[in-house]
């Protein structure tokens, strides 16, 4: 990135491609970017420290070496990736008004933001499957979700996200761009870049929709089905206490699903059908989608999981004892 308000153009016959795009902060509030950066810094700090803490506690606590916490580790890694993808450009705009981002750098950032989002969706599905097996087939749980199975699921999640979105940067590079180079966000987003092209983008729209529906769309449907089966199992339990205890193990996951999928669906709808929405709405939903889940997930799991809470308190006590 460079501190520059101008973009140059590469010309090749009838093919035009900008050397850079111009990112945008919060439209209409540019004069307050320094103040607005304060809550963003707090959220980024919570996300970085919280997810690192989750990973550290799970690694150091032998009793947490179980499938449920392995999947939580995957969620924490994915959240850290999302934070690190958007933090440099977002704070670069708020602090130094660095709006210019190179074309190839922009495509790289976009690719990683999208694959990490798809991976987070897949991890949430794996966590739903984990809860379904733990509640519906508790005796078979250790034999179904072995460490080898968890590793295979993790590798499948990475491979699925990476491969399904691999064509997207190349589909964008083949387009001709003309005139406008200003993006709608402080990071690069596929629909945002695609809409700046003056060529036919039907292939991009079609492939983007297919990739979204076949991954995130299917994940969401499967998560809903998992919870239908979980509720069916819980209803059949003998006592009310058993029902509540079983459902209580799902509360953190349900919260994580809601804070991830609701903004994602909202942002997708705005990009495809909300042409008349104010730019501020588009920007705020995008920030909620990419920053709020990584910041809230470690808080939710720390509050709701007694095992993580106890491990955290033990680690703090050891730290205090060593200092004394």
Q: Give the model confidence (pLDDT) of 176-200 as tens digits.
A: 998 788 998 999 999 999 989 988 8
Tell me what pLDDT residue 258 has: 95
- With beta carbons less than 8 A apart as the criterion, state whether 99 and 24 touch: yes
- With beta carbons less than 8 A apart as the criterion, state whether 1 and 98 touch: yes
Closest-CA residue to 212 (of 274, 271, 172, 278): 271
Tell me what pLDDT residue 141 has: 93
- With beta carbons less than 8 A apart as the criterion, state whether 131 and 71 touch: no
Q: Name the superfamily (CATH) of residues 33-310.
A: Rhodopsin 7-helix transmembrane proteins (1.20.1070.10)
Q: Enter the pTM of the model.
A: 0.91
Pairing of strands 100-102, 15-18: unpaired
* β partners of residue 177: 197
Tell me what pLDDT residue 324 has: 63
CA dist., res. 124 & res. 313, Å (int) = 27
Both tokens of residue 107?
């495509």
Both tokens of residue 190?
């596929």
Tell me what pLDDT residue 43 has: 97
Tell me what pLDDT residue 312 has: 81
Tell me what pLDDT residue 82 has: 96
Tell me what pLDDT residue 3 has: 46
The rounded Cα 282 to chain-centroid distance in angstroms is: 17
Residues of the chain with pLDDT under 70: 1-14, 238, 321-324
Cα 294 to Cα 3, 69, 100, 119, 191: the distances in Å are 28, 16, 26, 13, 22
- Maximum distance among all Cα pairs of the chain, rounded to whole angstroms: 74
Q: Where are the domains of the chain?
A: 33-310
Tell me what pLDDT residue 323 has: 62
The separation between the first and the last C-alpha atoms of the chain, rounded to the nearest angstrom, is 47
């Amino acid at each position: 990135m460079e501190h520059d308000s101008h973009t140059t153009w590469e010309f090749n016959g009838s093919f035009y491609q900008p050397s850079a795009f111009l990112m945008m902060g919060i439209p209409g509030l540019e004069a307050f970017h320094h103040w607005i950066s304060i809550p963003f810094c707090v959220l980024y700090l919570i996300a970085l420290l919280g997810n690192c803490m989750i990973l550290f506690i799970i690694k150091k606590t032998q009793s947490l070496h179980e499938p449920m916490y392995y999947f939580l580790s995957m969620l924490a890694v994915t959240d850290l990736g999302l934070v690190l993808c958007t933090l440099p450009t977002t704070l670069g705009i708020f602090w130094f008004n660095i709006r210019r981002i190179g074309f190839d750098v922009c495509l790289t950032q976009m690719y990683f933001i999208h694959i990490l989002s798809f991976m987070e969706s897949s991890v949430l599905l794996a966590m739903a499957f984990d809860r379904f097996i733990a509640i519906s087939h508790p005796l078979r749980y250790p034999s179904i979700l072995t460490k080898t199975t968890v590793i295979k699921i993790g590798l499948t999640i990475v491979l699925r996200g990476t491969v399904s979105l691999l064509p997207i940067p190349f589909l964008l590079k083949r387009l001709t761009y003309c005139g406008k180079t200003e993006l709608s966000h402080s990071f690069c987003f596929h629909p945002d870049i695609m809409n700046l092209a003056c060529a036919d983008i039907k292939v991009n729209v079609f492939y983007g929709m297919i990739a979204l529906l076949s991954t995130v769309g299917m994940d969401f449907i499967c998560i809903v089905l998992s919870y239908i089966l979980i509720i069916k199992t819980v209803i059949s339990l003998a006592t009310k206490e058993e029902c509540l205890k079983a459902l209580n193990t799902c509360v953190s996951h349900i919260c994580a699903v809601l804070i991830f999928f609701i903004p994602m669906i909202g942002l997708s709808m705005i990009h495809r059908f909300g042409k008349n929405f104010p730019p501020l709405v588009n920007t705020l939903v995008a920030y909620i989608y990419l920053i709020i889940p990584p910041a809230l997930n470690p808080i939710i799991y720390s509050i709701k999981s007694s095992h993580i809470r106890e491990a955290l308190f033990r680690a703090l006590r050891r730290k205090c004892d060593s200092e004394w």
